[in-house]
Amino acid sequence: MVSRTIVALLALCVASKALIRVPLHKHEHSRRSYKINMIAEYLKQKYVPGHVFGSELDYNEGLSDFANAQYYGPITIGNPPQEFQVLFDTGSSNLWVPCKGCPITNLACDFHKKFNCDASTTCTNTHEPFKIQYGSGSMDGEVVNDVVCFGKNRKDWCTDKTQGFACAKDEPGMAFVASKFDGILGMGWDTISVDKLSQPMDQIFANTAECPEPVFSFWLDRDENGKKGGEMTLCGIDNSHYTGEIAWEKLTKEDYWRLNLGGISIEGQQITGPTSSIVDTGTSLLAGPKDQVEKIQKLIGAFQILPGEYEIDCNKIPNMPNVEFTLGGQTFTLTPKDYVIEMTEMGESACISGFMGIDLSGNPNAPSGSLEMSSSESSTPSSTMARSALDSPSPPLAATKPFSLFCKLASNVINAFKKASVNDQRRCFWICKES
């Protein structure tokens, strides 16, 4: 399968010896992890200003399903180091982990590793209250300062002891109870950070002796049979994970990773024109305005089985149409293998559409006509998309307004983000490589 794409934020690939490497793990695909209508509700809460869930149950179920499709990896906090598995999320900007002292009745906290400030010689508890709203519930805790390190071993890849993060004492509902990760490490811009806490990446990138390029990237391994989920790198990109040249697209705003999407078409039929988009490592689905997604479902031959969930006859995949979109003046192609999610449960095969509709009516502040981007390999947050300089079009990484596509559906992919860049432009780049 041809699978090479770039959405770029980086002008220069750094020598691999300078890279900080963090192994990623992934959840298995299951029908449970793709309750699309619930995931759509969670994304609306995340990106549509003022959206409120009908019930806490709906929100927590959506968040749980959303979380179960994610990639996560290790960090350590404190001295001596305490290890945690965290979800690396470009759609948020705060680091939080569970902490010692949460009530025994809070199952999410009880079932995961808890940070113990008293056991760290470098920890300082500020006792400042901290809260992140999740639907009708919230994650409550306090701000703590300590050393945060990426990966498990390399001491040079750490912040100093003044790094602030949220020590969670109460996690909402049942959403995080069964998650494979302990906490979340946000990688969006500081402008959307709760309480304006800076990210650990900021300190890592400030250490130019160890980190010559302020870039982070995700390579998401699409091999369903492999145990490894991929790799996150900081301070550069492993060029063995991609093919071609890097192209550029500017960020339109520094909050989420916002880019401009030129348009989407199927067999020459235009679905939508230019629109804003968000790059989000948070979902493995293509999320977009409901009316536009329904057009796509009809044209690809998907049929609705539940509200918001569309199934596809697995036998028809070879004859389904390609979906094309434009970024930075380049055309990218998603083949049916890229946008159809195939899974097996209880010995039976099932195929569902990777496109997800979101109802944006009544939300004048919501971005319109765009895609939300998910990626497989990501480098530091920055603004630019690009396409590999190959003869064949690549399976895309999509941007969104709330239109979201996870390139991991397409193939082994690299998604890169950079915080400061050429000509003072904020840029972000994407790369897909043939598996």
| Residues belonging to the active site | 89, 280
Query: What residues have CB less than 8 Å from 150, skipping those under 6 apart?
Result: 20, 22, 75, 157, 158, 200, 204, 234
3-state secondary structure the chain: CCCCECCECCCCCCCHHHCEEEEEEECCCCCHHHCHHHHHHHHHHHHCCCCCCCCHHHHHHHHHHHHCCCEEEEEEECCCCEEEEEEEECCCCCEEEEECCCCCCCHHHHCCCCECHHHCCCCEEEEEEEEEEECCEEEEEEEEECCEEECCCCCCCECCCCCEEEEEEECCCCCCCCCCCCEEEECCCHHHCHHHCCCHHHHHHHCCCCCCCCEEEEEECCCCCCCCCEEEEECCCCHHHCCCCCCECECCCECCEEEEECEEEECCEEEECCEEEEECCCCCCEEEEHHHHHHHHHHHCCEEEECCEEECCHHHHHHCCCEEEEECCEEEEECHHHHEEEEEECCEEEEEECEEEECCCCCCCCCCCCCEEECCCCCCCCCCCCCCCCCCCCCCCECCCCCEEEHHHCCCEEEEEECCCHHHCCEEEEEECCC
Q: What does the alpha-carbon distance between residue 65 and residue 46 come to, in Å, rounded to a whole number?
A: 14
